[in-house]
Amino acid sequence: MMERVVRLGLVGFGNVGQGLAQILMESHDEYLSKYGLDLKIIAVSDAQKGNLFNPDGLDAGMLLEKISQDGHLNGLVTEKTHWNALTMIRECNADVIVEMSYTDLQTGQPATDYIIEALTQKKHVVTTNKGPVALHYTRLAALAAANGVQIGVEGTVMSGTPTLRLAREILDGARIKKVMGIFNGTTNYILTQMENGMSYADALADAQKLGYAEADPTGDVEGFDAAGKVVILARLLMKEQITMEDVDRTGISGLSVDDVNTAKAAGERWKLIGSLERVDERLVASVKPQRLPLSHPLAGVGGATNAAHFVTDYMGEVTLIGPGAGRLPTGYALIEDILAIYRN
Measured CA to CA, the distance from residue 183 to residue 249 in angstroms comes to 13
3-class SS shares of the chain: helix, strand, coil, % to 5: 45, 25, 30
Determine contact, residues 273/308, Cβ cutoff 8 Å: no
H helix intervals, 245-321? 257-265
Measured CA to CA, the distance from residue 227 to residue 249 in angstroms comes to 7
What are the catalytic residues?
A: 229
Measured CA to CA, the distance from residue 239 to residue 231 in angstroms comes to 10
Determine contact, residues 98/127, Cβ cutoff 8 Å: yes
Q: What angle do CA 330, 166, 186 make, to 5 degrees?
A: 40
SS3 22: helix
User: Counting beta carbons within 10 angstroms of the beta carbon of residue 132, is it exposed (0 to 12), middle (13 to 18) or buried (19 or more)?
Assistant: buried
